[in-house]
Structure 1
């Protein structure tokens, strides 16, 4: 798991499909402790668009991935680890649930939802591309 990655590297890394476990209890989501540790290392969590990682549903209830849920996970991660630890982990081609944001053409809708949650223009740019680019530049040189 993620703690093994922390033990084996001192560099930042990208947890590419990871949301906040405090908002959705899926085992692959990150606890607040994990988010803080990732942020301290300079790493980034790529928000997963899949409904199973965004919310909780009753058995048999259809799962729908909502942009507002994505923004809520980002807001939580920002409060826990700061803006520098948040990125996008779309996985458009591998999600089996219904997506409100089903392609890159919907990114303006995510931007609007983030603004409603209090994100600034520079924070949105960091989440959309800046944070992951920073990590890749540090790792790849």
Structure 2
């Protein structure tokens, strides 16, 4: 097995936010030629990164130095950012979506709306991209924006990031903690889930609080998917999934993508990058045990998180494949973890 195969199809990245902050469309050329970041086309080709969920995310004002300082402590509880109004969120979402389509125009990627398109794009020299929104602030209560964005290619959405929306509530960055924090989905949130089911838009559970998770589990007709979350039994962080939640994901024939963010990997929950690859494998072992080997993949959070030192760029992904093989995963399981499981759950979610 070559170090760059099987190709990785990834559950979450924030490169569109980085390009948006760097100047929008004018910065997208760096994605094609090479940039200072985790994902660009040359690094993807070097590391066997085939594509994934490209998140559109509306940032909150955050003191990053304070956040990093707090999350390096033994315990922490960062205050949730305030909600963002639709009028403020919508233009940011449009700008980042435009960057995604500009990258497609430049030949760097293909925005895929079917698993068949993803399969055809993997290995083509272009990245296979899913248009995903992380935090539904740009969706109005009547869901008109959802309908239009679906026509534009939106196929995955998280009702919340960590701050509240009109649809539900997220979890704070809190350690130690679980996600049993606050109330569940609102009436607007239940309608959002129903309409996403009807359209074939995947509902991402990664930032929802536990009450919201169980509301989706009760009302959704589709597999339960957390694109970038880890095992709470190993790292008791509010962002991670309990064994009870993992059992529900398994029962729904859903999916979990392993988050590379170090605060969700480390036993001590600290935002420190000296994390060995063996710690990631501990989470993978636990997820496979509780969800099944057909329902686990990767959800790196590249360009949006501090990740282990060996994997700061997608060019480093051969190290993860090698670690999986040394750990005893056979070629078939590695292929499932790298991309086959994502394609399976997307086919089921999108109705192919």
Q: Which TM-score band applies after superposition, normalised by the shorter structure? A: 0.7 to 0.9
The aligned counterpart of 1:123 is: 333
Aligned length: 140
Cα deviation digits, residues 113-137 of structure 1 (max 9, x gap) = 2223321111111111011111111
- Structure 1: runs of 5 or more not aligned: none
The aligned counterpart of 1:68 is: 278
Cα RMSD, aligned residues only: 2.0
CA distance in 2, matches of 1:135, 1:97: 26
CA separation of 1:81 and 1:133: change in aligned 2, threshold 3 A? same
Q: 2:323 aligns with which of 107, 113, 134?
A: 113
The aligned counterpart of 2:218 is: 7
CA separation of 1:73 and 1:27: change in aligned 2, threshold 3 A? same
| Superposition TM-score, scaled by structure 2 size | 0.37
What is the CA distance between 1:80 and its match in structure 2? 1.7
SS of equivalent residue, structure 1 residue 45 = strand
Q: 2:256 aligns with which of 33, 45, 63?
A: 45
CA distance in 1, matches of 2:269, 2:344: 39
What is the CA distance between 1:111 and its match in structure 2? 1.4
What is the CA distance between 1:64 and its match in structure 2? 3.2
Aligned ranges 1:73-112 → 2 under 5 Å: 73-96=283-306, 99-112=309-322
CA separation of 1:12 and 1:50: change in aligned 2, threshold 3 A? same
CA separation of 1:107 and 1:5: change in aligned 2, threshold 3 A? same
The aligned counterpart of 2:231 is: 20
What is the CA distance between 1:51 and its match in structure 2? 0.6
Cα deviation digits, residues 32-63 of structure 1 (max 9, x gap) = 1211211221111010000100013387x844
Q: Does 1:132 align with 2:345?
A: no
CA separation of 1:131 and 1:24: change in aligned 2, threshold 3 A? same
Contact 2:224 2:254 in 1 (8 A): yes
Indicate the larger mover: 61-70 or 22-31.
61-70
